[in-house]
Amino acid sequence: MQHKIKKVWGREILDSRGNPTIEVDLQIEEYFGDKMHQINGRASVPSGASTGTHEVCELRDEDKMRYGGKGVLKTVENINNEIAKKIEGEKWDQKTLDEALIKLDDTPNKSRLGANAILGVSLAFAKTSALAQKKPLWQYFQQISETPEIKMPIPMMNILNGGEHAKGSTDIQEFMIIPRGAKSFTEGLRWGSEIFQTLKKILNERGLSTTVGDEGGFAPKLGSNEGALELIMESIAKAGYKAGQDIFIALDVAATELYESPSQNALADQRKYNLKIEGKALTSDEMINLYESWIAKYPIISIEDGLAEDDWDNWQIMTTKLQGIQIVGDDLFVTNIERLQKGIEQKSANAILIKLNQIGTVSETIETIKMAKQAGFACIVSHRSGETEDTTIADFSVGLGTGQIKTGSLCRSERVAKYNQLLRIEEEI
């Protein structure tokens, strides 16, 4: 269904880390009966810290006198001028609008107008269109994607943070719990919250920090990465649940951040994964062996970015060796159809993390999910470490029937907002 855009305008707001990001308001004109009505929608754009180099371009001002160069006034100007002139006064549906925005930018990585500008407009149009059609947002996404079956996602809840999200904690970026044994999203969320609060008590008892990282997981200074797994196992048991039956564990290693050369003159094939907390530098084979040893001891069922974003050959080896484990490409695929196609052909993973701002429009994200599903890949809709109060990914996950969602820990309102929206959706459906 097409809708006439009357007005679009952007503004600079702050994300959950206190950095500038984009918010877009969009107004549609629609006749209901013989009367013209104006419908307003609003969307905001998240920002990542641990970002893949193959992601589309998040445009920043680079003016060191404002927000340390992270301002987005240029991006706002692009929305309020060039994009507004192109789309205002015309009728669009989601696909034609997104295609027009991509063509208007006319760069391979959306660097001229900024992927943050384009995504802000794309998301705002989706939300306004759903309002105009008097549909919940998840139903709008189901309709435009032609998804045959919606489903509530299983949450992957980040309860211990490290890496780029909580420096000084662990090398591994995220330790997550998955309440796969729960009968409903509501029950699974409660289980996760109880385990999170139990973990807090354990950390307090041991004199460890209960401050949290960017995504809300605790960030204690531990002597080893495996120490985090041991804490989680203890928390699961003390909360009254069974690891490997009720609750499972997932890791986001963010291995690209660990992939370093031993010296400036070292050859590319001499690069290793530097686990600074433990004083170790491991080869790709040694990293895979480490995961095998952990899988044998702990109920780990999913590993995201276990190797670096361009370590393609070893991704294939990892996927083959770690049979029965969900091997998730985030930095590897960056929600990009071309990189996903390569991964499918090479059997470099069996799952993909989906982030709308890695590719820049709703339509492109939907196409990536469709390709992944057709290839038998699992899909996980994900937040970013720099989030906003916008809850779109909750509806997107349900409407696209992805079955899994990552949206952080059980604290910080920008994370909990998505969980709360999923509670409302489950009640509705």
> Residue 167: what pLDDT?
66
Same domain, yes or no: 21 and 105: yes
* Tokens matching residue 15: 């994300």
Domain presence at residue 376: yes
Same domain, yes or no: 54 and 130: yes
Mean pLDDT of 187-200: 98
> Residue 377: what pLDDT?
98
For residue 407, what is the domain's CATH number?
A: 3.20.20.120
Domain presence at residue 39: yes
Mean pLDDT of 296-314: 97
Hunting for tokens 């094939």 — which residue is that?
269
pTM of the model: 0.95
Same domain, yes or no: 317 and 282: yes
Domain presence at residue 309: yes
The 3-state secondary structure of 347-407 reads: CCCCEEEECHHHHCCHHHHHHHHHHHHHCCCEEEEECCCECCCCCHHHHHHHHCCCCEEEC
> Residue 165: what pLDDT?
55
pLDDT digits (tens, 9 = 90+) for 322-374: 999 999 999 999 999 999 999 999 999 999 999 999 999 999 999 999 999 99
> Residue 419: what pLDDT?
98
Residue 267: pLDDT over 70: no
> Residue 409: what pLDDT?
96
Amino acid, single-letter form, for residue 76: V
Same domain, yes or no: 121 and 175: no
Residue 31: pLDDT over 80: no
- Counted residue by residue, the chain has a size of 429
Same domain, yes or no: 130 and 187: no
Q: For the chain, report the end-to-end CA distance as a whole number of angstroms.
A: 23
Domain boundary among 64, 99, 134: 134
Same domain, yes or no: 24 and 173: no
Q: If you ran DSSP here, which 8-state letter would residue 258 be given? A: G
Q: How far apart are CA 327 and CA 324, in angstroms?
A: 9
Same domain, yes or no: 186 and 321: yes
Contacts of 64 (CB under 8 A, 6+ apart): none
- Residues forming the active site: 215, 355
Same domain, yes or no: 321 and 370: yes
Q: How far apart are CA 96 and CA 342, in angstroms?
A: 27
Q: If you ran DSSP here, which 8-state letter would residue 262 be given? A: S
Residue 392: pLDDT over 60: yes
Residue 265: pLDDT over 60: no
> Residue 264: what pLDDT?
46
Q: How far is CA 357 from the centre of its chain?
A: 9
Residue 37: pLDDT over 90: no
Q: Residue 99 burial (CB < 10 Å; 0-12/13-18/19+)? A: middle
Q: Residue 31 burial (CB < 10 Å; 0-12/13-18/19+)? A: exposed
Q: How far apart are CA 136 and CA 113, in angstroms?
A: 30
Q: Which of 350, 202, 230 minimizes the C-alpha distance to 299?
A: 230
CA gyration radius for the chain? Answer: 22
State the number of CA atoms in the 13 A half-sphere of 31 facing the CB.
Answer: 2
Residue 32: pLDDT over 80: no
Q: Which domain holds residue 23?
A: 3-134
**Using an 8 Å Cβ cutoff, are 20 and 8 in contact?**
no
**Dihedral angle computed from the Cα positions of residues 426, 30, 96 and 26, in that order, rounded to the nearest 10 degrees:** -70
Domain presence at residue 228: yes
Amino acid, single-letter form, for residue 377: F
Q: How far apart are CA 72 and CA 271, in angstroms?
A: 35
* Tokens matching residue 369: 């999910």
- Interior angle at CA 194, CA 190 and CA 199, nearest 5: 145
pLDDT digits (tens, 9 = 90+) for 272-297: 999 998 999 999 999 999 999 999 99
Mean pLDDT of 149-161: 96
Domain boundary among 100, 134, 168: 134
Instruction: Work out the pLDDT band at 53, boundaries 50, 70, 90.
Output: confident
Domain presence at residue 315: yes
Domain boundary among 83, 104, 134: 134
Question: How many domains are there within the chain?
Answer: 2
Domain presence at residue 346: yes
Same domain, yes or no: 172 and 99: no
Domain presence at residue 285: yes
Q: How far apart are CA 283 and CA 271, in angstroms?
A: 8
Same domain, yes or no: 358 and 420: yes
Domain presence at residue 145: no
Mean pLDDT of 212-226: 92
Mean pLDDT of 170-186: 96
Least confident range from 252-261, 308-317, 405-414: namely: 252-261
Above pLDDT 90, what percent of the chain? 89
The per-residue pLDDT of the chain, averaged, comes to: 94
> Residue 261: what pLDDT?
61
For residue 65, what is the domain's CATH number?
A: 3.30.390.10
Q: How far apart are CA 370 and CA 139, in angstroms?
A: 17
